[in-house]
Structure 1
Amino acid sequence: MRCFAYGLVLLLLIAPPLAAQTTGDAAAPAAPSPAPAQDTAAELVRLLENDEARAALIARLRQGAAAPAADATAAEPALVRQIAERSRAIAEGAAAGLSSVARTLSEVGSGALNLGRPGLAALGDLALGVALVALGLAVSYLLLRAAVERSRRWLALRAAGRGWVGRTLGLAGGMLFDALAVLLAWGAGYALALQVVGGATGRMGIGQSLLLNAFLMVEAAKLVLRAALSPRQPILRPVPLNDEAAAYWFLWLKRLVSLLGYAFLFAAPVLATTSLAAAEALRVVVMAMALVIAVLLVLQNRAPVRAALTARAAQGRQDMLSRTLSLLGQVWHGLAIFYLVALFAVWLVNPREALSFMVGATAESALAILAGGLVLFLIRRAVHLSVRVPADLAERLPLLEGRLRAFVPRVMQAVRTVVLVCIAALIAQAWGLVDFLGWLASEGGQRVAGSLLSAGLIVVVGIAIYIAVSSWVEYRLNPHYGTAPTPRERTLLSLFRNAFTIALCVLVLMLALAQIGVNIAPLLAGAGVLGLAIGFGAQKLVQDIITGAFIQLENIMNEGDVVAVGGTSGVVERLTIRSVSIRDLSGTLHLIPFSSVDKVSNMMKGFSFHVAEIGVAYRENIDEVKAAMQEAFDQLAQSAHGAGILGPLDMQGLVQFGDSAVVVRARIKTLPGKHWVIGRAYNEIIKQVFDARGIEIPFPHLTLYMGQDKQGAAPPLPVEVTPVRPKARLAPVPGR
């Protein structure tokens, strides 16, 4: 009841078109009849013919013109007065309808109901003729419906497994069979009314004609319901409902259509031929019954509809459509009941114009919602189909599908927002709240719409350019297609992609703002001043960028190189215009800004050398050591590591006399970065060859020298052997 009260107050505040129509209808009965209009004209002629009366009239008109203009607030009814007038109109209409019902019931109860000229006999003849036509309609339509149901089952079997095309054709065929059944039954009833009931005259009565027309319109409405819900053929059902829900809604909607259709198109017009009050009472009672049934249907389906509307939000979606549907799911029953009560109240006040306005506005709103939903459905289907990248393209551009899937939800959210705004504008246009189409047709509306459309196109084109350039860079960096990129190409392409993305974002933003009417000249000037301020305040950042630019121009290091920068050695993983990221041997990632770099040592530029410095004992023959080192190199060249060797062994000979060894040096020229693995393999082979040849590789040890006398003989070394005595064992202590 609280919802009803709030709804009625809201109806009084937001229905100016209904108020205008209601005011017009309320003023219509007060318009003077032709006879009083003629009396007024004669009185005006008499006043103009009399000089004194004419002078008095002119003076009064001048006095009225000289009077101060009425206040604008007095010209327009105040809000309280508008509410009072609309409340009075609704109350008067409701009171008139209820009084008509009460008067008719009292007349029926007292036996004073006047049936008018036809009389009881004529009413009995009318009822008999109508009953015969109704019986013929019912029998013929039931027989035809049985054939139609078999045809619909056959169409459902044919449509199974044929996709949406087969279901659409089956649905169209079922509607065609239903329409033929209705037309044949209507034709049979028409022939029965003319040939049998009409008798020798061959003319049907008004009641029979009303029944046939009501049958045709009611069954046409049921045909649409049967096609939309298809309670017995689920394969042909276009709406997403299960069998139980489809049967439930078809049953109750069919009852409502039959109740309203036959009451307003047949029963009430027939009663109007005998008693207008009885016809009006019947309409009020039937509308009240339909209102009660509709409210009960809304309350019974409150929870299922809420669950369906909040399903997107329950799945974790947080877009505008999900939030709108979730909010609507919480209050939809109150809005529906308010609409039904308002429809009934408007029908009581002005059943001709106001009711037609509400029905038309409702139909336009429903069409706007259906059209918006269809547009969203088609866009979603098209986007899902386009996001699926072909297998060969996905192999060439492995990141393209992920990039598209990252952009598509944002684009879809913007499209949903635009469609929802358009739906809201069309609904407001249908109810007369705003003249959206008129504003759109005006110069200002076209300018705003064109600006927004241009800005949206600029953003879409910018996104497309970004995806195209990023895909091209990704293709160039793919080593499995085309020419394998060099480290310098990888570095420069990565830097180009970052710089191009920043420049494109700034350009698209400026162009979009310019299209919607924002003056970008102050923004450009402010950006220049801000850049100057940043240049003075962030000198380290400027130094980083300048040093990084020169390092890139000199091509001293690229991604994947092993370098020593700022006291840190490792593999270059990421290189930007401002800093370099290096991962060392232990796996630690170091970020080094270029402002702190004074020297860059690249260990993988062009080629590499493994420097083998082998220490041997002083007693070894150097030529034999060189031959052993050459033999080890020959074995290395014949192994799997030989592909990384670029030249012969560079033997440099003995280079150092150490404390306990002499050092022989040799160099092996290798591919960039291969000197570590080739050096390890060469050391293993050196150890094996030296062991086979008996070449000693000295290691730190101590030699005891006893000295010599003048004759060259060494003095004897006295050695005393002391026997080791076993340690005495202590006797165990009892108790321990």
Structure 2
Amino acid sequence: MSRQEAQQLLDVLNDPKQRDAFVHTLTLMTRGLPATTTTPSAATQKIEPVLDLGLTSLRHQAVVYAQNFLGIFANLAIVLRWARVQIADPTARHMIFEAFTGAFAIILVALIVEYGLVFALRGPLVRLTQRAQAREIRRERKTDATVNAASGGDDSRQIRADDQRRQVETLRFLARIPYAFGHFLLKILPVAAFLGIVCAATWLISWSARGTTVTLILAESYAVARMLYLFVETGLAPRSPTIRLIPAGNATAHLVTRWWNVLVAAPAVVVCLSMLGEVFELSPRGTEAMIRAIVLAEHIMIAAFIWRIRHIVASALQPSSAGAHSIWNFIGTAARLWWIPAIFLDISLWFVWAAQLRGGYMWIWRTTGITIGILVVSRVLAVLLYGWQDHFFRVNPALAARMPELQQRADRYYPFARAALTGSLIFLTIVAITEAWGLHTVEFFLRNTFGSRLLGAAITMIVAVTVAVAVWEIVNVLLNRQLNRFESSNQATRATRLRTVMPIMRTVLLAVIVIIVTVTTLSQIGINVTPVLTGAGILGAAIAFGSQSLVKDFITGFFMLVEDAIQVGDWVTTGGVSGTVENLSIRTVKVRDIDGDLHIIPFSSVSSIANTARGYNQIVVRQQVDLSENLPRVVAIMAGVVKEMREDPIFEPMIYSDFNDLGVDQSDSGGATLLGAIRTAPMMKWKVKREFYRRVANRFAAASVKFYTPTSYYTTPPGVPMHVLGEQPGAPADAHPKAPDQDPGEASAAPAG
């Protein structure tokens, strides 16, 4: 952009009217509409050159990138001309020969010392490997015992066992780090000695400045290549599997280290050329052309290496759930083709660098390395967090012995907690990768209104669900503990009442928790919950008003159950029906009467309940005897029968008291009525009563107890002949002689009872 064009653009942006017209024009252009149908304004006239300038700049950059790429092959001719000149010039040839001869001599001596130290350090390396191997064997035994104890059972326990196994394996690899570091120090020590000898030789021996520089450049390039190789070789440790940090097989470790030994040579050559070109007065264009050619060869070797290990990486990337679902089959197929985008990325890197796109090559390498590092850290962190989660959900054995259901409840929530943890890790990993790629994701979630609202909603939902689950489980644990306390203290009635009410309490608590969590999440997302709550309240009031009887059923039933007024198996009299309670719900009670009919009675129809199965029953004995009978004798007979029944092992637990003589309830012309009571166990009064009357009847007959016998008399009007009941009319009078003591106006009838 020229100075005049920059001034024109600055004038447009400084003038509010022209700036608004500029924005309006750009808006129309983005929508695919013509900028204007009227005469162009002054601002538009100034903007058009700026837009043309932008397109011109893009074309210019494309041409420059193409020229840079094609210039590689032209610049190689400069290297060939420089080589011919150096070879043809005797002085230059002698100078090069002298510099490289001395350098090679010093480096050869240093290499001999290096490999001598390598041979001398084999013993410490072997002892270090043996110590790591012994520790590995002990850890494997402990790992097998732990994993075998955790494996088996349902899917949740199997998932937890797999997580625990991965955690143990990850910790085992992390525990190898000190041994690997020691291995690296022992391996790098000869390289350090090599550098020390070279530096000391160049300092002690009188040499030309050019020869010293060449020696140091070659030595430093070799040292850099060796350190890069030893860094990867320490991670793979092909000859020492017990200190291997990267999970790979022995064949894979040997393969990768061999290829790495070749691939690491290219950076060393690049360093040499970039420095030696300046020493021997090679033009920068020629040096750059050689470096690009070497980098091209490096990328070709990397592509060959990717092709060589494509099957190994594909097998490692195959998901464990392959074949279970179509999405996993797709992921497995994509994993088998990983080498195609990898080779494409490798070749694209070289084209980007060769075309000299500003910062493109380093940006791709940097983002790729950071992405791989983020994925590795995420994987290690996931394994460790999964193991910590498994430890958190594992109930203490002492506590599990007291409450066996606690571990089962924890296992129930483990898959959901693991899914939530996996989602959080994936989210954080994606955010970290997008930040590495230059996308400001963190700023979006922290400063953008929509992003912060989404993040706040997710955090609120997680916290709300966690608190809701905690409240739910605490209430359930308290209820179960109270139920166990009632059962262990022989409070069967309270235990039954609590067991009956527990489903209702859990349902109400669950409904409250779901409503609170839903309302909280919706409000956090930004949805106005006031109309929702108002509508729900109005709807609830309308439903309650329209179904008053149903609401009354629920309320009465709840308090009936809470107050333990009735239980399944009780004999009750309610709603005009007597029978056994077969089922209880929050709304109805089902009673089976003695005829076998099932009566379903809503609680709104229950005004009172007579429960025969609570506390005790009482038999009220009413015995009517003749007035001439000895009443204490009759009472003694009944008391003796009750005493005899209490000594019977069958009836002894059914009878709570002896015969309680309540005296004479009534004495008149109909005889004397004796009143007494017998207290029995609940629901046993009928059986005791029938047995009591059976036995007392035999005792009364044996003791000739006199009972009152009612008699009926019929009278006839005066002048009407008397006849006996059952006599045929018109029968002779002498057929039925009159009793000597009978009143002539009366006739006796047959006894009625």
Q: TM-score range by the shorter chain?
A: 0.5 to 0.7
Aligned counterparts of 1:71 and 1:539: Cα–Cα separation in 2: 80
Which of residues 305, 316, 319 in structure 2 aligns to 1:305? 316
Aligned counterparts of 2:336 and 2:661: Cα–Cα separation in 1: 88
Which of residues 503, 507, 510 in structure 2 aligns to 1:498? 507
Q: Give the aligned residue type for 1:67.
A: Q
Q: Higher relative CO (CA 8 A, sep ≥ 6), structure 1 or 2?
A: 1
**1:551 CA displacement:** 2.9
Which of residues 118, 129, 132 in structure 2 aligns to 1:156? 132
**1:603 CA displacement:** 4.6
**1:590 CA displacement:** 11
Residue 224 of structure 2 corresponds to 217
Aligned counterparts of 1:411 and 1:146: Cα–Cα separation in 2: 49
Q: 1:294 to 1:130 in 2, by over 3 A?
A: farther
Conserved in 1, the CA contact under 8 Å of 2:225 and 2:265? no
Aligned counterparts of 1:392 and 1:572: Cα–Cα separation in 2: 40
Aligned counterparts of 1:667 and 1:88: Cα–Cα separation in 2: 119
Residue 70 of structure 1 corresponds to 48
Residue 19 of structure 1 corresponds to none
Which of residues 177, 191, 197 in structure 2 aligns to 1:185? 191
**1:475 CA displacement:** 0.9
Residue 22 of structure 1 corresponds to none
Conserved in 1, the CA contact under 8 Å of 2:118 and 2:190? no
Aligned counterparts of 1:570 and 1:239: Cα–Cα separation in 2: 73
Conserved in 2, the CA contact under 8 Å of 1:462 and 1:504? yes
Q: Give the aligned residue type for 2:298.
A: V
- Worse-superposed segment, 564-573 or 267-276: 564-573
Aligned counterparts of 2:497 and 2:561: Cα–Cα separation in 1: 9
Residue 549 of structure 1 corresponds to 558
**1:66 CA displacement:** 7.2
Q: Give the aligned residue type for 2:48.
A: A
Q: Give the aligned residue type for 1:436.
A: T
User: 1:593-615: per-residue Cα shift (whole Å, max 9, x none)?
Assistant: 65687886645323357999xxx
**1:472 CA displacement:** 1.0
Which of residues 345, 369, 390 in structure 2 aligns to 1:384? 390
Conserved in 1, the CA contact under 8 Å of 2:65 and 2:357? no
Larger radius of gyration: 2
Residue 514 of structure 2 is aligned to residue 522 of structure 1: no
Which of residues 517, 526, 540 in structure 2 aligns to 1:508? 517
Residue 378 of structure 2 is aligned to residue 405 of structure 1: no
Q: Give the aligned residue type for 2:392.
A: S
Residue 442 of structure 2 is aligned to residue 437 of structure 1: yes
Aligned counterparts of 1:290 and 1:268: Cα–Cα separation in 2: 22
Aligned counterparts of 1:215 and 1:500: Cα–Cα separation in 2: 73
**1:481 CA displacement:** 5.6
SS in 1 for 2:557: helix
Aligned counterparts of 2:74 and 2:605: Cα–Cα separation in 1: 96
Which of residues 411, 418, 428 in structure 2 aligns to 1:422? 428
User: 1:57-101: per-residue Cα shift (whole Å, max 9, x none)?
Assistant: xxxxxx9867253399878769xx98x999877755554445656
Aligned counterparts of 2:364 and 2:424: Cα–Cα separation in 1: 26
Aligned counterparts of 2:97 and 2:207: Cα–Cα separation in 1: 19
Q: Give the aligned residue type for 2:351.
A: A
| Alignment size in residue pairs | 599
Residue 308 of structure 2 is aligned to residue 296 of structure 1: yes
> Scaled by the length of structure 1, what TM-score is found?
0.66
Residue 646 of structure 1 corresponds to 656
Aligned counterparts of 2:128 and 2:657: Cα–Cα separation in 1: 86
**1:304 CA displacement:** 0.6
Q: 1:457 to 1:643 in 2, by over 3 A?
A: same
User: 1:168-201: per-residue Cα shift (whole Å, max 9, x none)?
Assistant: 5553143134224314423334314542797333
Aligned counterparts of 1:372 and 1:98: Cα–Cα separation in 2: 43
**1:365 CA displacement:** 1.6
Aligned counterparts of 2:75 and 2:601: Cα–Cα separation in 1: 92
Aligned counterparts of 2:88 and 2:482: Cα–Cα separation in 1: 95
Conserved in 2, the CA contact under 8 Å of 1:140 and 1:188? no
Conserved in 2, the CA contact under 8 Å of 1:611 and 1:666? yes
Q: Give the aligned residue type for 2:238.
A: P
Residue 130 of structure 2 is aligned to residue 128 of structure 1: no
Residue 5 of structure 1 corresponds to none
Q: 1:623 to 1:530 in 2, by over 3 A?
A: closer
Within a 5 Å distance, the mapping from 1:118-517 to structure 2 comes to: 119-132=92-105, 133=107, 136-137=110-111, 139-140=115-116, 142-143=118-119, 146-147=122-123, 149-160=125-136, 161=138, 168=174, 170-192=176-198, 194-195=200-201, 199-201=205-207, 205-252=212-259, 254-255=260-261, 257-266=263-272, 269-270=275-276, 273=280, 274=282, 276=287, 277-298=289-310, 300-301=311-312, 303-307=314-318, 310-312=319-321, 329=335, 332-350=338-356, 353-432=359-438, 434-442=439-447, 444=449, 449-450=455-456, 452-479=458-485, 484=491, 485-517=494-526
SS in 2 for 1:478: helix
Aligned counterparts of 1:584 and 1:409: Cα–Cα separation in 2: 49
**1:427 CA displacement:** 1.2
Aligned counterparts of 2:569 and 2:54: Cα–Cα separation in 1: 80
- Worse-superposed segment, 265-274 or 507-516: 265-274
Q: 1:426 to 1:627 in 2, by over 3 A?
A: same
**1:556 CA displacement:** 2.0
Aligned counterparts of 2:344 and 2:679: Cα–Cα separation in 1: 90
Aligned counterparts of 2:420 and 2:322: Cα–Cα separation in 1: 18
Q: 1:64 to 1:397 in 2, by over 3 A?
A: same
Residue 604 of structure 1 corresponds to 613
**1:208 CA displacement:** 2.8
Q: 1:394 to 1:448 in 2, by over 3 A?
A: same
Aligned counterparts of 1:471 and 1:400: Cα–Cα separation in 2: 8
SS in 1 for 2:411: helix
Residue 541 of structure 2 is aligned to residue 532 of structure 1: yes
Conserved in 2, the CA contact under 8 Å of 1:633 and 1:649? no
- Worse-superposed segment, 490-499 or 467-476: 490-499
Q: Give the aligned residue type for 1:217.
A: V
**1:384 CA displacement:** 0.8
Residue ranges of structure 1 left out of the alignment (5+ in a row): 1-30, 32-36, 42-62, 613-621, 653-664, 695-709, 711-736
RMSD of equivalent CA atoms: 5.4
Conserved in 2, the CA contact under 8 Å of 1:295 and 1:340? no
Residue ranges of structure 2 left out of the alignment (5+ in a row): 5-40, 143-167, 622-633, 663-674, 703-734, 736-753
Aligned counterparts of 1:648 and 1:303: Cα–Cα separation in 2: 90
**1:358 CA displacement:** 1.3
Aligned counterparts of 2:431 and 2:94: Cα–Cα separation in 1: 57
Conserved in 2, the CA contact under 8 Å of 1:646 and 1:670? yes
Aligned counterparts of 1:482 and 1:339: Cα–Cα separation in 2: 74
Q: 1:563 to 1:441 in 2, by over 3 A?
A: same
Aligned counterparts of 2:88 and 2:618: Cα–Cα separation in 1: 123
Conserved in 1, the CA contact under 8 Å of 2:591 and 2:599? yes
User: 1:504-524: per-residue Cα shift (whole Å, max 9, x none)?
Assistant: 221232223333333221221
Aligned counterparts of 1:651 and 1:85: Cα–Cα separation in 2: 125
> Scaled by the length of structure 2, what TM-score is found?
0.64
Residue 722 of structure 1 corresponds to none
Residue 646 of structure 2 corresponds to 634
Q: Give the aligned residue type for 1:535.
A: A
